[in-house]
Structure formats: structure tokens, C-alpha cells
Amino acid sequence: MPPNRIVALFAPFIALGAGVTATWLTNHVSGLQVSPGQMEAIFIAALTAVLAPAAQWMHGSQKLAHVEAELERAALDADTRAAEMAGAPELDPVEAYDEADGYGDEDDAYEDALDEAEAAPSGA
């Protein structure tokens, strides 16, 4: 699985876990008296701290994929233009196969053998 899909799949769950963990740590470990409004702010801050870098990474990954696709398309166009400039002859695949392996003469001999009259059995 590509890394961009892994980030897209797991980032929301990790962000929720970070928000819950930050809220729990603030409430139980810090020893501070925190109001519910402040707890909500802590949860949102932890959630944002995880989602913002994931979103930035996904944006960069999409830009990179777009640039790579453009480069591949440009390379394919360059190859096509180079082949056109070289003037490579267009060959029919069937003719090229027959000429390369020499099957054209054997096919004619086989057809001639089929056209010959069959010999009659000796006892008829």
C-alpha cells in the first residue's frame, strides 16, 4: 500500500487518539484544575497538531505525483517524436512474423497438398 494511502487512512484515528490522550493527561496527570471549555481547547489543539502535518504531507504527495505524471508524459512524447523522426517503417505484425520465421512458403505447400485428389484404396 502506498504511503499516501496509509497516511490518509490512519491520520484521523491517530489524531483522535492524540486528542483523547492529551485531554486525559491534562485532567489526570497534570494536577491542574481545568474547565470543560479548556479541555475542549486542549483536545482541538492536539487534534490539529496531528492533522495539520498529515494534511501538509498529503498535499505535497499529490503535487509530487502530478509532477511525476507530467514528466512521464513528456518522456513518452519525446520517445514518440524520436521514433517518428527516425522514420521507422510501419510493419503489419502478421507479415513481419511470416517473413521472420519463413512460414509463408510452408503455408502454400500445405494448401497445395490439400488441393490434391485423394488416392483411392486398393481394394475398391
98 CB-near residues (< 8 Å, 6+ apart): 104, 107
User: For 15-73, how does the pLDDT look when each residue is reduced to its tens digit (9 = 90+)?
Assistant: 999 999 999 999 888 878 888 889 999 999 999 999 999 999 999 999 999 999 999 99
Least confident of 46-55, 78-87, 88-97: 88-97
Q: How far apart, in whole angstroms, are the C-alpha atoms of residue 40 and residue 34?
A: 10
The half-sphere exposure of 117 on its side-chain side, counting CA atoms within 13 A, is 3
User: For 103-112, how does the pLDDT look when each residue is reduced to its tens digit (9 = 90+)?
Assistant: 555 556 666 6
- Give me the residue label for grid cell 510493419: 91
Helices assigned H by DSSP within the chain: 3-24, 36-86, 93-101, 103-115
pTM of this structure: 0.54
Q: How far is CA 120 from the centre of its chain?
A: 65
How many beta carbons lie within 10 A of that of residue 81, not counting itself? 10
